[in-house]
Every structure is written in structure tokens, then in C-alpha cells.
Amino acid sequence: MRAIAVTVANPAWTCVPVPAPYARELDALTAGFVADFCRLMSDAHFAPLDQAEWDVAQAEQFLFTLPCKIKWTKLDRTLVTSVLDRNPDLRRAIPWQFNDSLVVFHRGGGVATATGRFIPDKADMLVQMWVVEPWAQVGHAPTPLPPALNPQP
């Protein structure tokens, strides 16, 4: 299961005061962008992570060992909240732990199984191990000896 966290804040941006008419237009454009992005993710067969999937992921320690620090203060909570207010189904689907800050998408949610002898795959692996890798090592320049082992002329 691959997961993508969608956030709409960029710490490199600086806060510049925007006049009120432009602020409303900017809010509408950004909300439209997030809605279009959610549709794009849906068309690409990504689904929002729901509460049950979140609970399973936490119980399994799924990729939670990766070093990742989220600066929650940098997120634009008003934008995500406004998009979720317009889409109550999406709000009900996402986990309550971050329902006002981000939407996590994932694709794939089952175990892929295959049966057979996989002879072409095994042949490719053997060719890789017995032919390609040894010849790749021959093509490299020899590594110099460490100074302690290198005889002085």
C-alpha cells in the first residue's frame, strides 16, 4: 500500500497581505485546485485513507519507522477545512486525527498473489546473476590498494 500525504502549505512562501477581493478569488481558486486534485487522484485510482485503514496501518506499524517530522503549524488548515466542508462524504471518510489538516491517499489495498512456475522470471534472474553482474565487475577499473598494502617503488 503506497500512501501520499497531500498538504497545501509551503514553508518557503512568505505571508503577503492580499486585498479582500483578491483574497476571496484566491481562496476560490485554491479550493478549486484542491477539489480538482482530489478528482485527479480518484481518476488515477487513488482513494482517501479512511479510519479503518488508518487503524490497520497503525496496528501494523506500516512505514511508520521512516524518519518524518511534520510541522503541523505550517499547514493551512482553513483551506482543507473549507474543501472538506463542501464535501461531507470526504470528511466522513478520512480519519478524525487529521480531518482538519490533510487528506492521505493510497492505492492498492490487498495482497497480490500469483501461482505458476515463473520460468521466464527465474531465467532472467539467473542470467542477471551469472552473466550480467560478473561482466559488469570486469568492466570496472581496479580499485587501488590501501596505502598500508601498496609497496613503495
Q: Which of 100, 90, 106 is nearest to 4 (CA)?
A: 106
- Measured distance CA(77)–CA(64) in Å, rounded: 23
Q: pTM for the whole thing?
A: 0.51
- Measured distance CA(62)–CA(153) in Å, rounded: 57
Please state which of the ranges 8-22, 68-82, 111-125, 130-144 shows the lowest mean pLDDT.
8-22
Model pLDDT, residue 96: 82
| 2, pLDDT greater than 50 | no
Residue pair 101/77 in contact by the 8 Å Cβ criterion: yes
- Grid cell 609497496 — which residue? 151
Model pLDDT, residue 146: 61
| 113, pLDDT greater than 60 | yes
- Where residue 34 falls (left for φ over 0; alpha for ψ -120 to 50; beta otherwise) is alpha
The model's pLDDT over 61-90, given as tens digits with 9 standing for 90+, comes to: 666 566 778 787 887 777 778 777 887 877
Model pLDDT, residue 62: 65
Residue 66 per-residue DSSP state: S
- Measured distance CA(134)–CA(125) in Å, rounded: 13
Residue pair 105/47 in contact by the 8 Å Cβ criterion: yes
